[in-house]
Amino acid sequence: MNRSHDILFFLLSMTVCFYACGGPSRSRDSGKRFEPRLQRSLQAILNQPTLRPMTIGLKVVSLDTGDTLFAHRSAGLFHPASNTKLFTAVSALRILGPDYRFLTTIFADPDLAIRGDTLSTNLYLYGRGDPFFSTDDLDRLAGTIAAFHPVVIAGDVILDDSYFDTVPLGEGWMWDDVQYGYSAQLSAMTINSNCVQVKIMPGDAVGAPVAVRISPSTAYLTFDVKATTMSAGSESIAPLRVQRHWQARRNIITITGALPLGAGERLFIRTVEEPGLYAALLLKEQLHARGVYITGRVRRGKTPYRARALATHKSEPLTTTVTKMLKDSDNLSAELLIKTMGQHRSGETGTTQGGLRAVRQVLTEYVGLDTLSYRFADGSGLSFYNLVTPDQTIALLAAAYQDTTLRRSLMEALPIAGIDGTLKNRMKGTEAEGILRAKTGTLSGASCLSGFVYTQDGEPLVFSIMMNNYVGSSATARRAQDEIGAVLAGFSRK
């Protein structure tokens, strides 16, 4: 039977009496005081024959006493997959602060001139890395400009994405994943997660091309539709394939295969090349839809000194960004946070390497980790170059939990077992439902789960489970992780 969420938030508000209140104290590992019953239960899970091919690291620590309750290969290095986002989240909250907001601004030339219904100026779309800036946000900016009542803007729409460097992908990412939404390109001027939605329906009759529409509607992409409509009773229907010409780095999407007559709408998400220019064209198209004609073209450039700000969008606080990143395991936001941290610390163009330097500094000063004992190549966990241990993950989470200025922000951002995020459909009907909060992580051959759980006695535990080196589906690894989570939530010292 599940315990009330009120219990969880009451416990979150309590100060852990074993730690100083003024700031983050390091996790005290006062010794391996294994609880025999817990040890037997966890070891039985790890001994399952289906897990034998895997390399597994597991550690469980009491946040009340600092005791290690269970450890198995916890000092070994593993591919953390999206558990990397835990390190990104804690670092961003420390470096940028929970109230940090991203700004996106449309500027005009310093010497803009108004003659009748014509506004003579270029428009500069200046992005500062807002991961969740959307078409609706851009349209509100366009509405502000249209409120000046120009009929013509004599100038260009200029993308200024110089807040970050122009490296579009992460080090060690899979080269053949770049057309899919989880591997979208990085840009200081991000919009709609740098993707488009491709919606496909059968045509009006057998043999007709399928009907295609995209959201948002834009001329930025072109389509080569070869897919056709077949009768509903056809025995052999070629599968529908939606492929962007990613190898040629072009915004052309080819659709092949077939849909049976009467089939429902199919939705595909595909990335775009040069997402900043995508945003700039959308601005031009939105202004045109509002009756404002722009005479020039869309191009990349720099905002001039003393440019005039016409409209600015301010994002939600960083806590909202971190919550979306962790709940949904959003890769793009993690990578943009890394570059933002680099820019914030240096005052110069944001880069991944600069952001990772800032992360390493946090992990040294705040957590006490040796920079030579782990490796991060990105902020999302897509890179196979990332290596970290369960011990180090425990140290990070324990430091954040002990920090009263950070604890609630992190805890509320984590997926909740059986309730939301990437854990919505996991551990339902077990003692962990509604109680365990943790970050998932999945790559080919890697599955991880790290976070917090309260026992039957209300004792807070921090745990890290890392499973690597298996072939095929991650279902077996996830089942074992769920069993471990249920055991921890159901544990009692009494």
Residues catalogued as catalytic: 82, 85, 329
Joined tokens for residue 449: 């789960």
Joined tokens for residue 272: 């775009």
Question: Rounded to whole angstroms, what are the CA distances from 449 to 82, 113, 350, 373?
Answer: 9, 58, 30, 21
Q: Name residues whose C-beta falls within 8 Å of residue 37's C-beta, 6 or more positions apart in sequence.
A: 491
DSSP state of 375: B
The alpha-helical segments, DSSP class H, found in 172-254 are none
Question: Rounded to whole angstroms, what are the CA distances from 153 to 108, 122, 277, 283, 393?
Answer: 11, 8, 19, 13, 53
CA gap 314, 316 in Å, rounded: 7
Question: Rounded to whole angstroms, what are the CA distances from 60 to 387, 397, 462?
Answer: 20, 12, 6
Is the bond leading into 415 cis (omega within 30 degrees of zero)?
Answer: no
| 340-356 as b/e: b if 16+ CB within 10 A | bbbbbbeeeebbbebbb
Give the bridge partners for 407, in sequence order. Answer: none
Q: Where are the beta strands (DSSP E) in 261-382?
A: 266-271, 293-294, 298-300, 308-314
DSSP state of 334: H
Quickly count: other Cβ atoms within 10 Å of residue 300's Cβ: 15
Joined tokens for residue 370: 């040796």
Q: Name residues whose C-beta falls within 8 Å of residue 339's C-beta, 6 or more positions apart in sequence.
A: 129, 164, 165, 186, 188, 350, 351, 352, 354, 355
Residue carrying the six token digits 């500062």: 128
3 state SS of 218: coil
